[in-house]
Amino acid sequence: MSLFEKKIDRAIPIRYHVIFWLGYFLFNFVRWGSYFDNYWYSLKSNLVEFPIHIVIVYINVYYLIPKFILRKKYKHYILSLIVLLILVYLIRTGLNYLLVTKDIWPEATDPVKFMELNHIIAVILGELYVIGFVTAIKLVVDWSIEKQKNEDLAKLQMSTELKYLRTQIKPHFFFNTLNNLYALTLSKSNKAPQLVIKLSDMMQYILYEVKSSNVNLLKEINHINNYIDIECLRFNDRIDLEMDITGDIEHVLVPPLLFLSFVENCFKHGMNETDNLKIKISFNIANKDTLEFTLINSFNPTTPHDLSKGIGNKNAQRRLNLLFSNRYLLESKIENKTYKLFLKIPIR
C-alpha cells in the first residue's frame, strides 16, 4: 500500500468507539442515578441496556444501512428495523425483570404490565433515540472522511497533472533549441560551440535544478536570458532586448519554466526576414504579494494570429489554472504590429 493510500484509508479507530460508549454510559449512569436518586439501580439497568444499545446500533450502521438504505430498499429497511426493535423490547424488558427490578417501568407513575402499549412505545422511542444519535455521528464522521479523501484525490490529480505538464516543457524546449543548433551547423557557423555551451547550462538547470514546485525568480530570469542568448546566436544578434526588474525579487518563488513559453512566442511570431525583433520584458513586484509580468514584442503579421495554439501556451494556461485557479490575470492582444502580454500572479 502506498503512502497516499495509507493516508486516505481511514476508519474510526476502535479506541474512539470504546471512549464514546464509556462516555455515553457514564452520562446515562449519572443522569438516571440523579433522576431516581438511586445510583445502584442506574448502574445495574445501564449495564443491562447498554450492550443491547451497542448491538442494535452496530447492526443498523454496519448491516441494515449498507444492505438496504444504500441500495434504496427502504421498505426492507423499515421492516427489518421494526423486527429488530420488537426483539430488543422483549430481550431488554426480560433482562431488566430478571436482573434489575420487578417493576417493569419505574419511571411511570402507575404500575405497568408487560407488553402494554405505552411501555412498548417508550422503550422503542428510547432505542430509536440511541440509534438516531449514534448513526448521525457515524454519518458525519463518514462524510468528513469522504470529503478528505476527495480533497486528497484532487490534490494528487492536480500534482500528477502538473508533473505531466512540466515533463512536456522539457522535450518541447529542447526540440526548439536543437533546431536552432541544427540551423547553425548547416551554415557552419562558429557560433555553434557557444550555443552548445548555453544549451548545456540550460539542460543542467531544467534537468537537475528544477525539481520543486517553486523556484527562485532570479534563476528563472537567468534561464530566460540564456534562452534569449541562444536565439541571438541563431539570428545573428538581430534582437533588441530590454528587461526591467522592479522590486525586491531576491526571495520571490515562482512556478518553474512558466514564463519561458511566452518568451518563445516572441521568436515564433515576431521574427521576419529583415527587421530586428524588439522585446521588452518587465518583472514588477506589486504590494509584496503579487508579481506582474509584462511582455511586449514586435509582431510579424504574416504569421498566424492565434497565439493560443501550440504546446507552450496551452501548457502555460493549464498550469496557471491548476496553480492559481481564479487568482491570476492573463491578458494579451495584438496592436499596431506589436504583441502585448500581461500576467499577474500571487507570490510567496
Residue 240 to residues 210, 243, 257, 312, 328, Cα–Cα distance (Å): 28, 10, 22, 23, 29
CB 180 within 8 Å of CB 234? yes
Q: Per DSSP, what are the bridge partners of residue 94?
A: none
The 10s digit of each residue's pLDDT in 254-272 is 888 889 888 888 887 777 7
CB 194 within 8 Å of CB 231? no
Question: b vs e for 222-260, b when ≥16 Cβ sit within 10 Å of the residue's Cβ?
Answer: ebbeebbbbbbbbeeeebebeeeeeeebeebebbbbbbb
| Arithmetic mean of pLDDT over the chain | 80
CA–CA separation, 239 vs 229, rounded Å?
9
pTM over 0.85: no
Residues 332-343, mean pLDDT to the nearest whole number: 88
Q: Which domains does the chain have, with CATH numbers?
A: 3-151 (no CATH), 189-346 (3.30.565.10)
Return the percentage of the chain with pLDDT > 70, whole number. Answer: 82
Which residue's C-alpha cell is 525539481?
211
- Phi–psi pair at 206, nearest 5 degrees: -70, -40
Close Cβ partners of 79 (under 8 Å, ≥ 6 residues apart):
none
The 10s digit of each residue's pLDDT in 15-72 is 888 999 999 999 989 988 888 788 888 898 889 889 999 999 999 998 998 888 888 8
- Phi–psi pair at 308, nearest 5 degrees: -85, -10
For the cut 80, the answer to whether the pLDDT of residue 177 exceeds it is no
Confidence of residue 298 (pLDDT cuts 50, 70, 90): confident
Burial class of 280 by CB neighbour count within 10 A (0 to 12, 13 to 18, 19+): middle
For the cut 50, the answer to whether the pLDDT of residue 79 exceeds it is yes
Q: Are strands 290-298 and 253-254 parallel, antiparallel or unpaired?
A: unpaired
Element (H, E) at 100: none
